[in-house]
Amino acid sequence: MFKLTIDEHTYSCQEGETVLDALLREKVDISYICKLGSCQTCVVRSLNCAPPAVSQTGLKDTQKKQHYFLACRCYPTEDMTIKLPDQSVFYAEGTVVINKMLNRNTLLLGVNFKDAFEFRAGQFVNLQRPDGLTRSYSIANIPDETNILKFHIRRLPGGRFSEWLHDQVKVGDTIMVSEPNGHCFYLPERSEQGLLLVGTGSGLAPLEGILTDALKHGHSGPIHLFHGCREVEDLYRIEEMRKLAEKHSNFFYTPCISGERVPEGFAEGRVTEVISAAFVDLKGWRVFLCGHPAMIDQMKRLVFMKGVASSDIYSDAFLVVEV
């Protein structure tokens, strides 16, 4: 028999019993559907140890790295401390140290913390206003000694949160930030693998972090970044990305414009169209998709048809209308 600890409560898991069955027997409120590991509804996280490998079957590599597992497939081999997905989120207080515009509608926001803030480049956090209003934003940088999180905040028409950040928040203000979430981040195990990074609008934020992380780890395979907007004025980091491509021979940057005015040096068309024409076969590649939900849906189908395994497709859909 092993102990299962959730918050301050401890439950028993009998021999031959799965974590899911034990928690249901103990009347713990946990989501599940099939009990066969197919629906992945019962995914939870181990906080103190690596779960049995069989309980991680079908999960993405990034989930496995963070010790997520299927409760219905897990027969514990030791005592486990578990976090359920619906448990209360912890918030830390941060101080705004960067507040400047990246382009006409995208704000670079930097938040500093007194204590170490652990995260992986590409993950997202929830930012919270004093009145409790909360929105999710992806982290645009990698962890470093400055202990700063950077965000690219696009102003959404009528958006209560984004307009508050653009118009009212200033350097020195405090803001509440949740613990990091998300599985859209780089793992260095397959450094020879091709990486395809595709973003629209402020979807460049997590991709910039993922790119920086991959280059820092000496990723040797080709890395292609496609960033798309309707007009040139809505793109940003153009020169920084071009200089990075000059510095790293395996990194290729393609800014895409879907509007009528396409200057020299920019690809014409939506990122989906440009990528469809640029690649015939993407078998064995890893893909990161961030931005407009419609783009992400189209790209998932496109890259899958070009040979990318579904387990190698990571995505982060952004709000396009805020209320």
Can you spell out the DSSP letters for 95-157?
A: EEEEEEESSSSEEEEEEE-SS-----TT-EEEEE-TTS-EEEEE--S---TT-EEEEEEEPPT
Q: Which of 266, 319, 262 is nearest to 290 (CA)?
A: 319
What's the CATH number for 188-317? 3.40.50.80
Contact between 80 and 17 under an 8 Å Cβ cutoff? The reply is no
Q: Which amino acid is at 147?
A: N
Give the global pTM.
Answer: 0.79
* Architecture of the 91-178 domain: Beta Barrel (2.40)
pLDDT reported for residue 247: 97
pLDDT computed for residue 33 by the predictor: 76
273, amino acid identity:
E
Fold (CATH) for 2-83: Ubiquitin-like (UB roll) (3.10.20)
pLDDT, residue 89, reads 66
- What is the Cα–Cα distance from 210 to 183, expressed in whole angstroms? 12
**Domain definitions of the chain by residue range:** 2-83, 91-178, 188-317
Tens digit of pLDDT at every position of the chain (323 positions): 899 999 889 999 999 999 999 999 999 988 877 788 877 889 999 999 999 999 999 888 888 999 999 999 999 999 999 998 765 567 899 999 999 999 999 999 999 998 889 899 999 998 999 888 888 899 999 998 789 999 999 998 888 899 999 999 999 999 999 988 888 899 988 999 999 999 999 999 999 999 999 999 999 999 999 999 999 999 999 999 999 999 999 999 999 999 999 999 999 999 999 999 999 999 999 999 999 989 999 999 999 999 999 999 998 877 655 54
